[in-house]
Structure 1
Amino acid sequence: MGSAIGEILPLALGVAISPIPIIAAILMLLSPKAIGTSVGFLVGWVLGIVVAVVVFTLLSSLIPASDPDAAKPVAGVIKIVLGLALLFLALRQWRGRPAAGAPAALPKWMSAIDSMTAVRGLLLGFVLSAVNPKNLLMGVAAGVAIGASGLDTGGVIVVTVVFVVIAASSVAVPVVAYLVAGARLQTPLERLRGWLEHNNATVMSILLLVIGVVVIGKGLASF
């Protein structure tokens, strides 16, 4: 189980550190319907992570079982392909980063956050975690790692829970903190939002580069 957790940790951190969902959660916390939309977004975010990792864990578990010490070429090829896809996204993020002093380009849907309902927040959270290409690739890689680990059902559940908790933490922490501290967090949240908006592309490109290299390395080790 320890090796499986070691494999999914960088992937879970990759999902957690994604700036766009954090910015969305902060904007919701600063909106007129802060509690309803942010809680809905958190529920959708967690649900999307769970669906992505569980679906691909089940699919990867269909790969024929082999000796734990034997090579796993199918899982290795899948990991290498996923790692290359992450490197491609890292390059796109780096090339799309704003020039020095220029405002960062953010998704147009963020301007509609003030009028969002809890249901729309939930749907947005689900889409960003389960459908967004960057997070989906990391969910797929985690599912492949868990499904090919050879763990029993209990072990798979534990590793999956670890992945979900870490991956969801970056959205869960500000939402839960706001529920506890309320308006006292407004100024720190504004500062964090500004920093993330300006450094979104740089953070994601470096993050995807590191995780892509790690996933490719794990894939090569499967041969």
Structure 2
Amino acid sequence: MGSAIGDILPLAVGIAISPIPIIAAILMLLSPRARSTSVGFLGGWVLGIAVAATAFTLLSAVLPQGDADDPKPITAVMQLVLGAGLLFLALRQWRGRPAPGVEPPLPKWMAGIDAMTAGRALGLGFLLAAVNPKNLLLGAGAGLAIGSAALGAGPSAVVLLVFTLIAAASVAVPVIAYLAASERMAAPLERLRGWLVHNNATVMAVLLLVIGVVLIGKGVGNF
């Protein structure tokens, strides 16, 4: 189980460091319906991460399993494809980064956050976690690592829980901190939002590049 946790850690961190959901959570915390929408968004975010990782774990668990030292060509091909997909997204992020001094554009849906309900926030959190291409690739990589490790139901559930908690932490921490001390957290959250907006593309490009290379390396090793 320790080896599987080691495999999923960088993938969980890759989801956790995603700037867009953190920015969305901060905007909700600064909106008129801060408590209801932020809690709804956090719930959807956790649910989406867990559902995506669990689905790919179940899918990869049915792949042929051999001894630990045996080649695993199917797993290897899937890891190579996932790694290549992450490298492609890294290139897109790098090429799309704003020029110095230029205010980066945000997704249009963020303009409606002030009027968002808790239910819509939950749905948004789920979509960003489970359907967003980058998070879907990372969740697929985690599910592949867990399912191919053939741990059994109990240990697999523990690894999935660790993955979900780490991946959701970056949204959970500001939400919980705001709920505990809303007045003191408003200014720090606004500063964090501004930094993430301006560094979103660069952060994600570097992160996706590193994780993509790691997955490709694991894929090559499984042949």
> Deviation at 1:154?
1.2
> Deviation at 1:66?
1.1
TM-score (norm 1): 0.99
Give deviations 1:69-112, integer Å, cap 9, x for gaps: 21111101100100000000000000000000000111000010
The separation in 2 between residues aligned to 1:220 and 1:6, in whole angstroms, is 18
2:196 corresponding residue in structure 1: 196
1:1-223 matches, cutoff 5 A: 1-223=1-223
Give deviations 1:122-153, integer Å, cap 9, x for gaps: 00000000000000100001001100011111
Q: CA RMSD in A?
A: 0.6
The separation in 1 between residues aligned to 2:159 and 2:73, in whole angstroms, is 22
TM-score (norm 2): 0.99
Secondary structure at the counterpart of residue 163 of structure 1 = helix
The separation in 2 between residues aligned to 1:203 and 1:65, in whole angstroms, is 36
Structure 1 unmatched runs, 5+: none
Identity %: 68
Size of the aligned set, in residue pairs, is: 223
Deviates most, 8-17 or 146-155? 146-155
Secondary structure at the counterpart of residue 124 of structure 1 = helix
The separation in 1 between residues aligned to 2:199 and 2:31, in whole angstroms, is 22
Structure 2 unmatched runs, 5+: none
Contact 1:46–1:168 at 8 Å: present in 2 too? yes
